[in-house]
Amino acid sequence: MIDSETIKHLWTHKTQDHPWLSDEELLIDRGEGVWLWTQKGKKVMDAFAGLAVVNVGHGRREIAEAVAEQTMRLAYYPTTRQFSNRPAAELAAKLATLTPGDLTYTLFAVSGSEANERSMQIARHYWLASGHPDKYKVIALEGGYHGATAGTFAVCGIPDLVKAYAPLQTPGFAKVAPPHPYRDRGAGTDEALVQRRVAELREAILREGPDTVSAVILEPVISSGGFIIPPLGWLRAVRAICDELNVLLIADEVITGFGRTGRWFGVDHERVVPDLMSVAKGITSGYIPLSASVARRRIADAFPENAKQENVHPNTYAAHPVACAAALANLRIMEHDGLVPNAERMGRRLLEGLQGAVGHEPIVGEVRGRGLMVCVDLVEPSGGGRPLDAERTSRLDRKAWERGAIVYVRGTVLRLAPPLCISPDEVDQLVGIVADSVRELGKECGR
Ligand SMILES: Cc1ncc(COP(=O)(O)O)c(C=O)c1O
């Protein structure tokens, strides 16, 4: 047993999401499929797949074996100075077959933050190489989250998270509102909302000056901002604005990539091909950290193979052979077990199950989802759709834990993103746990 004195040396995320539990109680010791066991032996469903990471589920021996084999063969060699390694080359070629359109050139990194740093850096180098040295700004969405580095904080749309770093930030990175149908549709249609938001994005680029704007970065589904799901049509419209104003489109698929939304990538729902795509999390299901920025041919073509001048600088662990071997084994499981279609089917079952069970509860404003990103948006029971205060919403973390699931409440939204291998029976158990928790909170709120 690891005691709290020992755990105190570990700097965890001090959000006090679980004030009713001791550090000892929160030590996760073992996992299998969608299930976790704490060191004290409590079994809980991992209804957020860690941090929307463990797409193939916990405890997959095939990945462990691929990791062991590659570790013995070649644990590490850098991919600087034109060197490469076998799993990295194979994985880049595999990604070229999975990603849409001509997204075929991959630069690997380690975390999702770094993948976005690389995407923004590649965009910058692209403009330098193609004779547009003044293009550097990156426009992002309110509510968007792209990582925890200085560069990605500059495009973060969650002000509270980044205010401490304001003096360190690159100035001039504008944020625009995404289309959030539940909050902003009003009496109009989704289509009208998309048109309104796209017009605002266009105005923002014009205000900044298209000659200074390098890229627009966005998540196909805005995750940390509260599982905001823009209506279909939004990505296509953004793509058109970017083309019109000669601005690159960076899709941050760190969460939405690798099946999470029921398609291989979030942009696949609209057949949109971004210029750069940042991926991480599900690429290895978290067995080993790995991320990447995948570029379209026209971007890569700006950097000739025989160029001597350095462009984007890689980090020490870029294209780590063991991480790439883990990714290849992970993708084999995803394909063999049909996890992308499973995410679509189980996502629909989870969404419909929750809509049926709690959709009409007075404290539920909306149950929404795309694939296995499903959430319950909570409101004051008195009507009018005012968001339920965050203190009351956060009680749902505890209620679900006590009933046997880890969910992730943030702001007024209870978010679910279980492993893509979840079974129908497990989905039904999760619906039961969330529905009972929400109903109990409803009673506490006076309904
Ligand atoms: C959409 C998105 N982009 C980027 C990141 C950053 O990834 P990482 O924490 O691996 O740096 C996250 C992390 O949750 C994310 O959700």
Provide the residue-wise pLDDT of the chain in tens; the chain has 447 residues.
Answer: 898 889 889 988 878 788 889 999 999 999 999 999 999 999 999 999 999 999 999 999 999 999 999 999 999 999 998 899 999 999 999 999 999 999 999 999 999 999 999 999 999 999 999 999 999 999 999 999 999 998 999 999 999 999 998 887 766 589 999 999 999 999 999 999 999 999 999 999 999 999 999 999 999 999 999 999 999 999 999 999 999 999 999 999 999 999 999 999 999 999 999 999 999 999 999 999 999 999 999 999 998 888 777 788 889 999 999 999 999 999 999 999 999 999 999 999 999 999 999 999 999 999 999 999 999 999 999 888 999 998 999 999 999 999 999 999 999 999 999 999 999 999 999 999 999 999 999 999 986
Name, in order, each residue with C-beta under 8 angstroms of 50's C-beta and a sequence gap of 6 or more: 286
- Ligand 1 neighbours, Cβ below 6 Å, are 51, 111-113, 116, 145-148, 219, 223-224, 252, 254-255, 280
Question: In whole angstroms, what is the distance from residue 434 CA to residue 384 CA?
Answer: 23
213: its two tokens: 């704007």
CATH superfamily for 4-56+338-444 is Aspartate Aminotransferase, domain 1 (3.90.1150.10)
Count CA atoms within 13 Å of residue 57 on its CB side: 20
384, exposed or middle or buried, with CB in 10 Å at 0-12, 13-18, 19+? exposed
Closest residue CA from atom 7 of ligand 1: 112
CATH class of the 62-336 domain in this structure: alpha beta
Q: What is the whole-number distance in angstroms between the Cα of residue 186 and the centre of ligand 1? A: 31
Pairing of strands 276-279, 248-252: parallel
Distance 252 CA to ligand 1 centre (A): 9
> 419, 46 in Cβ contact below 8 A?
yes
Domain-wise residue ranges, the chain: 4-56+338-444, 62-336
pTM listed for this prediction: 0.97
**pLDDT in the model for residue 446:** 85
Distance set, CA 165 to CA 102, 171, 325, 411 (Å): 37, 12, 36, 22
pLDDT digits (tens, 9 = 90+) for 216-268: 999 999 999 999 999 999 999 999 999 999 999 999 999 999 999 999 999 99
Compute, in angstroms, the gap from residue 5 CA to the centroid of ligand 1.
30
Tokens of 444: 């506490």
The preferred substitution site among 250, 255, 277 for testing ligand 1, maximizing ligand atoms within 8 Å of CB, is 255
Backbone CA torsion sign across 307, 308, 310, 315 = positive
Could you tell me which residues come within 8 angstroms of residue 319 by beta carbon, excluding any fewer than 6 positions away? 79, 84, 85, 88, 108
Closest CA to 243 of 269, 216, 209, 265: 216
